[in-house]
A and B are shown apart, each in its own frame.
Chain A
Amino acid sequence: MGLTLTALSIHFPGQPPLFAPLSLSVPPGITTVMGPSGVGKSTLLDAIAGSLPPEATLSGQITLYGDDITTRPAHTRQIGLLFQDALLFPHLSVGDNLAFGLSPRTRGRTARRKAVTEALEHAGLPDMEARDPATLSGGQRARVALMRSLLAEPRALLLDEPFAKLDTALRAEMRAFTFAHIRARNIPALMVTHDAEDAEAAAGPVITL
């Protein structure tokens, strides 16, 4: 159960498939995907998130807790996405970035504001609602981005080299922070990385493409 890929294969016109048909079951917890550059790791994440370039052809099946999501639009998949850049919306305050992500299932102004405040406290960033995201440090931004993803109540999470842009000291701290939250939520997470230490810290299955 969790996130399941069945005989998944992607190819671009005039090129051989990116990788041999891939069947994979991602249980709750962190599964790491490694492999050389250009092998199609990021494209695999695009396929799962639903943002494959239109010229790519996808075969096989993607299911999430039994639902076939292979052809669903990206915004209905309930799959969170984290890149090496935090990609906070530049026109919104930190609090509004979180509110944008917060699932509509949390209703009412007070309840929603409380959820945002709590998320910031969890991230060790209390009272930062009104801050301009551009004034945060790299580590603070990364934590806000993770919180924003989690507030959307994703059923799975995809991480594309999430720690690559952080410096070494911060990287270990962010790893611990991110993995702890994923484990606490007990959702399947697929992480693409170049860094063997990421895989080691994730302490889950490792797939090499």
Chain B
Amino acid sequence: MRQPTLRRAVLSLVALLGVLPILAGLWQSLRASFGILPALGATTLSPAPWGQLMQLPGLTTSLALTLTTGLGATLIAFVLVVALCAARADRAPVPPRLLAPFLAAPHAAMAIGLAFLIAPSGWIARALAQVLGWSTPPLWITVNDPHGFALILGLVIKEVPFLLLVTLSALSQIPLRQSLITGRALGYGAGALWLKLVLPQIWPLIRLPLMVVLAYALSNVDMALILGPATPPTLAVLLARLFSDPDTAKLLPASAGAILQALLVLASFAALWATARLTGWAGRIWLRKGTRGPHSALGPLPALTATALLALGALSMAALLVWSLAWRWPFPRLAPESWSLSAWDTSTAPLTTTLLLALTTTLLSTLLAVAWLEGEDRARRRTPWAEALIYLPLLVPQISFLYGLNILFLRIGISGGMGAVIWAQTLFVFPYVMLTLSAPWRALDPRLTRTAAALGAGPWRQLIAVKLPALLRPLLTAAAIGVAVSVAQYLPTLFMGAGRIATLTTEAVTLASGSDRRITGATATLQAALPLLAYLIAFALPALVHRNRRALNGGHTAWA
């Protein structure tokens, strides 16, 4: 019995409100990059904006920085994750639950905490001062260093937990144990097995998430603004400045830059694809030779590096909290001399706005994801082309289409309002909610709903009385991830809110460039606490509701 209505409705909604705005935004950027921006009275087709873009001081350095930080951070994170999994082939190198706080922490909060940690007056320098007897902060340039090392470090800390979870999930989908047992019986060493048998099997499963990481690393604004080089900055930061310049004529070269940013990401995808093909080809030649080595994996080095990164991340979060409570904290003391709650005594408006946005976008996204998956069940058919499109908002750089989209929002008169920000945030919240929920949803035994039908339960009763309660844990996990994604959004809030809608994230990023660490720390702590709280609820609530239901409380927790 096919019931295609719901599926059609959901797909139309996703196409209309999800895919179309991105394409329209890109189109607006493209038009503006060739001089057409009717809102400014610019109506003559001309390549001049591209010329203006090229003449911006430091553009070449900006481009080079974008590539080194983006590609560098992605490559380091990927190699580390692969090495980490290969070193402990039989079991998870880190319990997935331990990674949750790192996933929950918004990029901006992590960046601010890391800046507090590595700054000349930060904890690391203070610790060294104890040993080396410094009485003044060292003259090193760590945050905003001209080579982007701090930015790379921040990106790696944030992306390693994500890639690790994705890889662990991919490993659970392939016959890992059999591959390893068979391979070992044929005399292959651990390193060789991983490179020849395991990596090729999981590559198709981790390719898209890796591309998401790559696109973010190449085009993010918030982390690059806080940790990255300043003069010149990375391309995305440069563009964000141009887009918010009071001189509206700068919008045209900024749009050209937006297209350039998209092309940069596209070229990186092409390079990734070519590298993967080439490696696969060379790998098969190597495989045919039948060499049994390398026998050893890399020893404890990957695990040590990963532990150090996680420790840096945890210390960053702690630094936020301690600074928010500090009053007098002279160098080189490791802890504040006196404490104060005064930094917490600020306006609660950004917190309320952030909560409202997070709850609304998460609710909308979860409803849409449930409608999508239920529609799929009722139509008894999946939609591969639409599933591929779910990734689109995560692969196209935000800066490439958000301003163009804002021009459209201005035209229909919703720019600057909560509605526009909710819409724009949902573009990014929905994919994560959908990707988190779809695997456990599809893994639910279909005979369970068939049994319910045989007992006389219609489609709605099957959904409400059987599927949703049995899927409570993954539903809440997906919602927690939705909250985390919404809280972390910077550019959509800034652009679509026309600067009028202040969230914890926009506040934290703005404050980060100032000098008051206490208020910055308090705002960033709150920003990090919200998603963490959502994760805790997602973890505790099902355990409470299903405390007497062993089959639903087993270890199969899906955190991502």
B418 within 8 A of A: no
B419 contacts which chain A residues (CB < 8 A)?
none
13 example contacts (A-B, Cβ-Cβ < 8 A) are as follows A54-B381, A74-B1, A74-B453, A90-B470, A90-B552, A91-B469, A91-B472, A91-B546, A104-B456, A132-B551, A149-B454, A152-B454, A158-B454
Question: Known interface pairs A89-B466, A134-B551. Does A100 touch B445 (Cβ–Cβ under 8 Å)?
Answer: no
Complex: chain A residue closest to B4, CB-CB: A54
**Chain A residues with a Cβ under 8 A of chain B:** 49-51, 53-54, 73-81, 83, 85, 87, 89-93, 100-101, 103-104, 132-135, 148-149, 152, 154, 158
Interface residues of B in 498-540 (CB under 8 A from A): none
Chain A residue at smallest Cβ distance from B446: A51
Distance between Cα atoms of A24 and B450 in the complex (Å)? 24
Contacts of A101 in B (CB 8 A): 455
Chain B hits for A74, CB < 8 A: 1, 450, 453-454
Docked Cα-Cα span, A91 to B106, in Å, equals 33
B378 CB to nearest A CB, Å: 10
From B465, B546, B551, name the one whose CB has the most chain A CB atoms within 10 angstroms. Answer: B551
Q: What residues on B are CB-neighbors of A158 within 8 Å?
A: 454
* Contact B456 A54, beta carbon cutoff 8 Å: no
Of chain B, the residue at the smallest CB distance from A92 is B469
B 437-478 to A, binary, CB cutoff 8 A, 1 in contact else 0: 000000001011011111111110010011001101000000
Query: CB distance B552 to A54 under 8 Å?
Result: no
B549 interface contact, C-beta 8 A: yes
The main secondary structure of chain A at its interface with chain B is loop
A87 x B454 contact (CB < 8 A): no
Beta-carbon contact of B454 and A91 below 8 Å:
no
Q: Would you call B551 and A80 a contact (CB within 8 A)?
A: no
Q: Which of A50, A85, A93, A152 contacts B455 (CB 8 A)?
A: A152
Residues in chain B within 8 A of chain A (CB atoms):
1-2, 379-381, 445, 447-448, 450-459, 462, 465-466, 469-470, 472, 546, 548-552
Taken together as a complex, chains A and B put the C-alpha atoms of A159 and B73 apart, in Å, by 57
Report how far A113 CA is from B147 CA in the complex, Å: 72
Residues of A within 8 A of B457 (CB): 75, 100
Minimum Cβ distance to chain A for residue B202 (Å): 30
- The reply to whether A134 and B549 form a contact with Cβ atoms under 8 Å apart is yes
CB atoms of A91 and B450 under 8 A apart: no
Contact A80 B455 (CB under 8 A): yes
Q: From A75, A78, A90, A104, give the contact of B551 (CB < 8 A).
A: A90
Tell me whether B380 and A54 are in contact (CB under 8 A): yes
**Residues of chain A lying within 8 A (CB to CB) of residue B458:** 73, 75-76
Q: Are B450 and A49 in contact (CB under 8 A)?
A: yes
B454/A49 in contact, CB under 8 A: yes
Contact, CB under 8 Å: A87 / B550: no
A81–B447 alpha-carbon span in the complex (Å):
10
- Across the two chains, which residue of chain B brings its CB closest to A104? B456
In the bound complex, how far is the Cα of B455 from the Cα of A158, in angstroms? Answer: 12
Residues of the B chain whose Cβ atoms lie less than 8 Å from the Cβ of A154: 454
B546 touches A51 (CB 8 A): no
User: When A54-B380, A91-B469 are in contact, do A73 and B456 touch as well, CB less than 8 Å?
Assistant: no
Cβ contact of B549, chosen from A49, A73, A79, A132, cutoff 8 A: A132
Closest chain-B Cβ to A61's Cβ sits at a distance in Å of 17
Residues of the B chain whose Cβ atoms lie less than 8 Å from the Cβ of A73:
1, 453, 458
Q: Tell me the bound Cα distance from A49 to B465 in angstroms.
A: 21
**B residues near A79, Cβ cutoff 8 Å:** 454
Using Cβ atoms and an 8 Å threshold, which residues of chain B touch A89? Answer: 448, 452, 466, 469-470
Inter-subunit contact A81/B1 (CB<8 Å) = no
When A83-B447, A89-B470, A91-B470 are in contact, do A100 and B549 touch as well, CB less than 8 Å? no
Which 4 residue pairs of A and B lie closest in terms of their CB atoms, listed nearest first?
A81-B454, A134-B550, A90-B551, A74-B453
Q: Pick the residue among B2, B452, B459 that contacts A100 (CB under 8 A).
A: B452
Shortest beta-carbon distance, B513 to chain A, in Å? 50
Q: Would you call A87 and B552 a contact (CB within 8 A)? A: no
| Contact residue among B2, B448, B454 (Cβ-Cβ distance under 8 Å from A54) | B2
B548 contacts across to A, CB distance below 8 A: 93, 132
Contacting residues, chain A, for B452 (C-beta < 8 A): 75, 89, 100
